[in-house]
């Protein structure tokens, strides 16, 4: 039985609609397939994105005399024997590879005092606390050992304390252990018999001296006395008589054993033979 013309037209339209519907349903599947095949970012590219951070760290460190930032991650350990069986050990604390270190003050290290193979003291410090590579006179003199008998002595270790002058930490060792710790000034050279009494003395100052002119044009200097420490069988002791004598020779007046930030001394009042005129 033949179909009427409108039936043929209706059938054609139905087939077309079905085909169009199938194509429309395939579009989401195609989109999902496309999304699932997108590759994730590569790790090298991710590392490259962090490169500016590293560049910034290097740029910040360039003005410093400390060198390349990357070198700060290198592990180090130094050992120095001060006396038979007495060793000072400085060892860097391992830093994460991702740590940003701008200068040596950011480095951490352990400072240990080892006596006969046993650690009797340990502390954590920065990489610059005990670094005197730029000050050979301090590096040559310290650490220092002053024996006070077969079972003891005084160990002096210089350390940085900016902006102040370098100081020395003194460890009193008795019977294979540290019994006391204090802080004194650093000495500026080897011991010498300054007062010709048969005993040697170290000398040094607690602060740096400064010069300035007042409103009348008069020149002043800060009062930073040099102190003298005598080596005795019991250890280091400040020789007050010698110190007073030397201060008067240096400043023309004795104003105490401590430096003064509030008052100074007129340069014109200082004895001509004083090193303050140099």
Residue 72 pLDDT class (50, 70, 90 cuts): low
Residue at 173 is within a domain: yes
Distance CA 132, CA 128 (A): 8
CB burial readout 193-211, b (16+ within 10 A) else e: ebeeeeeebbbbbbbeeee
Q: What is the pLDDT of residues 169-204, one digit of tens each?
A: 999 999 999 999 999 999 999 999 999 999 999 999
Residue at 15 is within a domain: no
Does 198 lie in the same domain as 263? yes
Residue 156 pLDDT class (50, 70, 90 cuts): very high
Does 169 lie in the same domain as 73? yes
Residue at 44 is within a domain: no
Distance CA 146, CA 82 (A): 10
Does 176 lie in the same domain as 246? no
- Domain-terminating residue out of 138, 161, 186: 186
What pLDDT, on the 0 to 100 scale, is given for residue 35?
A: 34
Does 233 lie in the same domain as 127? no
Beta strands 152-159 and 201-205, pairing class: unpaired
| Mean pLDDT to the nearest integer, 264-278 | 84
152 or 23, which is more confident: 152
What pLDDT, on the 0 to 100 scale, is given for residue 107?
A: 82
- Domain-terminating residue out of 136, 158, 186: 186
Q: How many domains does the chain have?
A: 2
- Domain-terminating residue out of 133, 152, 186: 186
* pLDDT tops 90 at residue 14: no
Residue at 272 is within a domain: yes
| Mean pLDDT to the nearest integer, 87-94 | 92
Does 123 lie in the same domain as 76? yes
* pLDDT tops 50 at residue 136: yes
* pLDDT tops 70 at residue 32: no
105 or 3, which is more confident: 105
- In contact, 118 and 178? CB cutoff 8 Å: no
Does 182 lie in the same domain as 77? yes
What pLDDT, on the 0 to 100 scale, is given for residue 64?
A: 37
Residue at 120 is within a domain: yes
What pLDDT, on the 0 to 100 scale, is given for residue 70?
A: 60
What domain range is 205 assigned to?
A: 188-278
**pTM of the predicted model over 0.75:** no
Residue at 25 is within a domain: no
Does 194 lie in the same domain as 157? no
Residue at 29 is within a domain: no
Q: What is the pLDDT of residues 137-155, one digit of tens each?
A: 999 999 999 999 888 999 9
Residue at 100 is within a domain: yes
* pLDDT tops 80 at residue 108: yes
């Amino acid at each position: 039985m033949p179909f009427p013309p409108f039936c043929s037209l209706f059938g054609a339209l139905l087939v077309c609609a079905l085909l169009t519907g199938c194509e429309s349903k395939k579009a989401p599947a195609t989109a999902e397939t496309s999304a699932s095949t997108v590759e994730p970012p590569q790790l090298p590219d991710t590392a490259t994105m962090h490169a500016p951070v590293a560049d910034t760290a290097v740029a910040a460190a360039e003005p410093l005399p400390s060198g390349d930032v990357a070198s700060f991650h290198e592990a180090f350990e130094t050992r120095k024997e001060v006396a038979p069986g007495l060793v000072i050990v400085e060892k860097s604390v391992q830093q994460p590879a991702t740590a940003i270190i701008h200068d040596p003050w950011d480095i951490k290290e352990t400072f240990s005092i080892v006596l006969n193979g046993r650690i009797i003291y340990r502390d954590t410090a920065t990489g610059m606390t005990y670094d005197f590579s730029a000050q050979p006179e301090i590096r040559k003199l310290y650490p220092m050992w002053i024996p006070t008998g077969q079972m003891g002595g005084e160990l002096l270790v210089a350390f940085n304390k900016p902006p102040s002058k370098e100081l020395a930490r003194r460890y009193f060792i008795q019977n294979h252990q540290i019994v006391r710790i204090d802080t004194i000034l650093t000495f500026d050279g080897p011991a010498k018999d300054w007062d010709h009494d048969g005993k040697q003395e170290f000398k040094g100052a607690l602060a740096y001296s400064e010069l300035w002119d007042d409103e009348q044009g008069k020149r002043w200097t800060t009062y930073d006395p040099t102190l003298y420490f005598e080596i005795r069988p019991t250890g280091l002791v400040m020789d007050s008589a010698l110190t007073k004598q030397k201060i008067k020779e240096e400043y023309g007046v004795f104003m105490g054993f401590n430096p003064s930030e509030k008052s100074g001394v007129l340069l014109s009042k200082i004895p001509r033979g004083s090193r303050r005129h140099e």
